[in-house]
Every structure is written in structure tokens, then in C-alpha cells.
Chain A
């Protein structure tokens, strides 16, 4: 009976060991890239909304404070999505017949809320509280990016756990004075390594990295 494997099969066997290892590594790398890509994280992907609301226009253009609409951000876990009445406090008078705003007026007439597409959607097994972050010197833009430059809302950061932990392990890298929390184009007035260390101490910011802090 003839040999099943010829001598050249030795090369094939050896290279398939190396090739297999490369294949597994490539697959792992590929999956990781896919996992971190906007396809999975939605980072910098503007979402469709019932009304193409522009934060850029309202924040940078008109200078409205975040809290004019997101009223509960300093007091509650949830920053608050404004009720239609908030939109109508101006838009009952200005742009009051713009076709783009018809869903807002329809919602005001019928009492049926607008159904916005949630942009920042944490998994439900994560506890997050806005108020503690903004009252301890974490600026809106640290997590949400330059919202004043977003014509349509998108997510600036991945919201991965490693991303949360990056700050929870070294809050001094991101902390800012309390009166600058809602400022969009904030630049530290002095070296962040000096300022951050001082503010962490002054505001008694602890490095909360226990699992149960967020997974409660």
C-alpha cells in the first residue's frame, strides 16, 4: 500500500501548527476589534430621533445651561429628559409653525410623550448616579464629550467597564472645580496633575473600585 502522507506533508503539519496559532490570534484580535468598533458601541454614531434636536444650536448657539432641560442632574440618579412642556416654553412662541417641530406640538396637544431614542444606554445591572458625579466635580463633557458641538446627539465614549474604571482608579486626571462642571469648553487653569490632586483631597473623592459600588 502506498504511503498516505508524502514527505512534503511534514511541512504542512508544521506550518499548520503555526498557522493555527496565528488563526486563533487573528480571530481573537478580529472579535476584539469588532467588539470595540462603533458597530457594537455606537460611539460617534448619530442616532435617529423623532425630532432632529440639535444640542449644538441650543447650547453653543443660544447658551442654554444643561440644567434648563436636564433639571434633576444635580439631585437624582437620572439627569432627566425634559417633558414636552419644556420645549414648548420657547417653541409655543418661536418656530411655532416649523414642520420639523410638528411632533413636539402633536405631543403637547395629545399628552403623548415624544419617544426619543436613548443614546447612552447602560446595562441594567449597572448602578449609575448623575448627582454624585456632578456634585463632586465631574464635568458633563468628561463623559458626554463636547455636546455643544453635536448637531445630532451621539455617544462620545464606549461606556465599557474599563472606561468607568479608568476614572474611578485615577479621578485626579479628570476632576475639575465644582463651578466648572457645566462648562463645555473647560480647560484647567493650572497643571491638571497639581489641580486634580488638590481637588480630589478638597472634595473628598474616594477611589471607588469595589465591584459592589456599581453592581449592587
Chain B
């Protein structure tokens, strides 16, 4: 009788080892399924109009790209278009914009080559003459077949991208006069 009980020990151990209670705990985490709600998501969306403390978007320049009724021609207060800011904009641009707009902004990205409607080049007069706030607005609200990127690109990054688009526009329309004395000397040296 005692021997038979001993045999049970490994059997019980083997069975309990397969329990996954702590692996899959009876709680809901983000993106899990719940049958309780009609859209099947365990996580509830925020009530419309919810604003986190200290996150009220009061500044129309920063959050809508507008000063008064027109698009802002400058970066909002607190942003400085220095090299680090532009490089950050370049990295973000290369992630989110190049699939359609292409590396240099001619609207010749990979997705366009697969049949997506080609966006206009940044280097046409209409877009070169737009204030920087316009590009922020297009990223935020979308334009034509371009959807809003507001949920994917945070406000700070959108301004960095807008600044980088400006830099791209300058790069494709630069003259020798835009190049600094030192760099001009380097270019002349490079020719020899």
C-alpha cells in the first residue's frame, strides 16, 4: 500500500509541472481579448475629451502649427533648429516618410513604385513657399490620400521632421552663395 502511494509522487509532480497559472495569469494586459465588450478588447478607450494632468494642448502654434489663422512660419517656442534637431528629424523622416516621399523628398518612395499615388515633390514652388507649420499640419491631420500620422509620431518629432523637410528643400535648391566660405574652399580643393 505504501509503495503504491510512493508511485503517485512523480505522477503528481509531473502533472503539476504542466500548470501554467503563473505564466498566463488571470488578469488583463494591453491588447488582450475580453468577451465583455463588443469590440473584443479588454482595454477600454479613453473617454472622449480626456486630458492627462498637465497635458492640455493650449498652444495652437505648437499643437496645430498655427499662429492666428495662418500656418506658423517659425518653430514653436522651445525648439531650436540646430544640427542635433535636424539629425533627429532626419532619422524620424527616414522611418515614417521615405516609404512614399523618398529619401530626398521627390515623392518617389518604394511604396509609390508599388502603385501608391505619388505625393508631390517637396521641391515644387507651391510646397517650397509653404510655411513650416503647414508640414506639421499635414502630418497631424493628413492630406489627400495621406493619413494622419499623429498617433505614430509625437509632436516633438513632427516638428523635427518639418524642420528636416525645410533642410531637404534647401539642399535641393542651394546655390554656391549658400555655402560657407570654409566649405567653398574645401569644394574648390576637392576639384584639384
Contacts and interface: CB of A to CB of B under 8 A. Distances in A.
User: Are the chains A and B members of one assembly?
Assistant: yes
Interface of A: 62-65, 67-68, 71, 78, 81, 83, 85-86, 88-90, 92-94, 110-113, 115, 123-125
Given A86-B152, A113-B40, A113-B41, A62 B96 contact: no
A112 B24 CA distance: 24
Contact of A123 (B22, B41, B99, B116): B22
B99 A62 contact: yes
Interface of B: 22-25, 27, 29-31, 33, 38-41, 94-96, 98-99, 110-111, 114-117, 145-147, 151-152
Contacts of B22: 123-125
Contacts, number: 64
Contact of A81 (B31, B117, B145): B31
A90 B27 CA distance: 35
B40 A64 contact: no
Given A92-B145, A93-B116, A64 B99 contact: yes
Contact of A93 (B24, B25, B117, B152): B117
B22 to A, nearest CB: 5
Contacts of A89: 146-147
Contacts of B110: 62-64
Nearest to A123: B23
Contact of B116 (A64, A65, A90, A111): A90
A94 B151 contact: no
Contacts of A65: 94-96
B23 A124 contact: yes
A110 B98 CA distance: 30
Nearest to B111: A90
B86 to A, nearest CB: 16
B39 A112 contact: yes
A92 B115 CA distance: 12
23 contacts: A62-B110, A62-B114, A64-B99, A65-B94, A65-B95, A68-B95, A68-B96, A68-B99, A81-B31, A86-B152, A90-B99, A93-B145, A110-B39, A111-B39, A112-B39, A112-B40, A113-B39, A113-B40, A113-B41, A115-B33, A115-B40, A124-B23, A124-B25
A64 B100 CA distance: 10
B88 to A, nearest CB: 12
A71 B153 CA distance: 8
Nearest to B27: A124
Contact of B151 (A85, A110, A112): A85
A94 B146 CA distance: 13
Given A63-B99, A93-B115, 6 more contacts: A67-B96, A81-B31, A85-B147, A90-B99, A115-B40, A124-B27
Contacts of B114: 62, 94
Contacts of A90: 99, 111, 116
Nearest to A88: B147
